[in-house]
Amino acid sequence: MDFNIIRSGRAVLNVTDLERSRAFYVDALGFVETESDDTHLYLRGLEECNHHSLLLKKAEEPSVEAIGYKVFEETDLERLDLFFSQKGLKTRWLERGEQIGMGRALRVQDVSGLPLEFYCEMDQVERMLQRYDLYKGARVQRIDHFNCMVRDVEKAYDFYTKELGFACSEYTAAEDEKIWAAWLHRKPSVHDVAFMNGEGPRLHHIGYWLSDQLSLIHACDVLASMGYTKNIERGPGRHGLSNAFFLYLRDPDGHRIELYNGDYLTSDPDFKPIRWDINDPRRQTFWGHAAPDSWFNEASRVQDVLNPKQLKEVGQPTLKQRKPTFVI
């Protein structure tokens, strides 16, 4: 591996109403608005000193434009371009100046059809970590991970671990040891990306880190007081997988956001992945309560990197889930 991917960095989502999105993300959840115009809303967490980790773009229908990873240095982008080209995967460059707050970026559809973006440089802004007077809502700190639905988890697992240098922290396997879901990381936490079996390619959710569990509980109270009770989809609860405390929310366009706290360190080179049996109910929710059907059956469509106005086809999974998938 000749390139160094550091971590999950940013997501680009298409939304239909920026003011409605601002009310949800900024006023209710407490994201920091870095800047905006008539068609863009750049958001970050309180801990983040990069220009943004979530870009919302006004569009006619909701979709996912890019799932972004930060790399160590500019030459990593050139090496990634060569790597994907040798794999027969066509790339697209966004040059410096094409995107506000960012340097060059490389985009490509991965082997599962997910729209990846790799970048090195992003403008630095004021970190709000100790501006406690500005904390509100969920007191969102930083982006943590992506969770994606794909047709073939083992194919994605092999590509990310053997080709892109990701490591596995936990996974779910069936009796025949076929991998049903996997949690993979580059930074020393449980995951930067997770893959779950379903009709894909789709983005299931973006996970944002909170500093403590009370912030998550407080977010529920704030959301309820502001009339967002229907946007609370699942939780609060604790995952068996990752050990994390969680809350799943749906934004006004149906994109799913996870508020997340309490996973663990995975930096030791002799760390061995944790296996969960697919029939163990504690893997999803350690306390035992079931997730709603929507959590399994709904997720966000993704764009074609080379043809941004075109959505990727959704295909059947290799291992069936509960019901046919409804796509937002």
Average of pLDDT values for 19-24?
98
Q: What is the pLDDT of residues 78-102, one digit of tens each?
A: 999 999 999 999 999 999 989 999 9
> Token pair for residue 220?
């529920």
Q: In the structure, what pLDDT confidence band is assigned to residue 317 with cuts at 50, 70 and 90?
A: low
Residue pointed to by tokens 């800047």 = 35
Q: Which pTM does this prediction carry? A: 0.94
Which domains are delineated in the chain?
A: 5-119 (3.10.180.10), 137-301 (3.10.180.10)
Which residue has 């943590």 as its token pair?
Answer: 144
Q: Is 268 exposed, middle or buried (0-12, 13-18, 19+ CB in 10 A)?
A: exposed
Report the alpha-carbon distance of residue 186 to residue 171 in Å, rounded: 16
pLDDT tens profile 173-195: 987 888 999 999 999 999 999 99
Whether 39 contacts 65, CB under 8 Å: no
Which two tokens mark 12?
A: 């680009």
- Strand pairing class (63-71; 5-15): antiparallel
Checking if the pLDDT of 46 tops 90, the result is yes
How many angstroms separate the CA atoms of 132 and 176, rounded? Answer: 51
The pLDDT of 215-230, averaged and rounded, is 97
Nearest-CA neighbor of 157 among 170, 143, 144, 145? 170
Reply yes or no on whether the pLDDT at 324 is more than 90.
no
CA distances from 197 to 109, 204, 234 (A): 18, 11, 19
For 158, what's the count of Cα atoms within 13 Å in the CB-facing half-sphere?
A: 8
- In this predicted structure, the answer to whether residue 326 has a pLDDT above a threshold of 50 is no
From CA 196, how far away is CA 260, in angstroms rounded? 18
**Residue pair 75/31 in contact by the 8 Å Cβ criterion:** no
- Residue 292 pLDDT class (50, 70, 90 cuts): confident
Short-list 247, 255, 233, 251, CA closest to 28: 251
Q: What is the largest CA-CA distance in the chain?
A: 53
User: Model confidence at 316, in pLDDT bands (50, 70, 90)?
Assistant: low
Q: What is the pLDDT of residue 177?
A: 86
Structure tokens at 23: 């009310």
Closest C-alpha among 151, 153, 154, 129 to residue 140 = 129
Tens of pLDDT along 246-286? 999 999 999 999 999 999 999 999 999 999 988 877 777 77
